[in-house]
Amino acid sequence: LPTWLQVAALDQVYVTLEERMRLAIELSRMNFESGTGGPFAGIVFERDTGRVVAAGVNVVVPESCSLAHGEVMALMFAQDAVGSFDLAAQGLPPMQLVTSAQPCVQCFGAVHWSGIVELVIGARGEDVERITGFDEGPLPPDWVEQLENRQPLPPCRVIRDVLADEACEVLQSYKDSGAPIYNPGSDAIA
């Protein structure tokens, strides 16, 4: 993770969804303004207390890793922090992922397997594609229902459009900055 992400803000408690999303959006902006990756961030919270378990930002380019999206990084660090591959493991409080933008097809799969019981989204996938040109991949059209009714796994509730305008503003700033849109094969297409 970028060194700037060891921020004091991660030691605080965030009560409302808006407070949690505002932090995710702020990290997404800091990430690209710091030159440490794309404009995306995810944070795993204890759903009921608002304590930060782990935060992640997109580090695809600096880490030379197509998997290193903000949501995946947050889930990975959260699972490491609690010492379990399953964030719904017995003894753990319910875990929530707050992400500045809707998960792509990879991150949808990662959320599905993570044990997260609530997914909170800022910008929608169509906004990401429209504003930035990043390709979100072939998400199933019923992806929300798939998460909310994924027997035998516990349901993962999906909450969308939290501070969506603020999340979209960061995406627009990224696009306006001329920073790279690194879809796979884009070199070959260009």
- Which residues contribute to the site for Zn ion (CB under 5 A)? 69, 104, 106-107
**Shortest distance, position 11 Cβ to Zn ion, whole Å:** 26
Tell me which residue of 90, 89, 108 sits closest to 99, measured CA to CA. Answer: 108
Please state the closest distance from residue 152 (CB atom) to Zn ion, in A: 25
Nearer to Zn ion by Cβ, of 60 and 82: the residue is 60
CB of 106 to Zn ion, least distance (A): 5
Q: Which is nearer to Zn ion, 106 or 146 (CB)?
A: 106
Indicate the residue among 19 and 106 with the shorter CB distance to Zn ion. Answer: 106
Residue 126 is classified by DSSP as H
Query: With respect to Zn ion, which residue has the nearer C-beta, 96 or 102?
Result: 102
| Rounded alpha-carbon distances, angstroms, from residue 176 to 25, 99, 168, 169 | 17, 22, 12, 10
**Which residues are CB-neighbours of 151 under 8 A, at least 6 positions away?**
none
Which region holds residue 115: left if phi is over 0, alpha if psi is between -120 and 50, else beta? Answer: left
Q: How far is the CB of 99 from Zn ion (least distance, A)?
A: 9
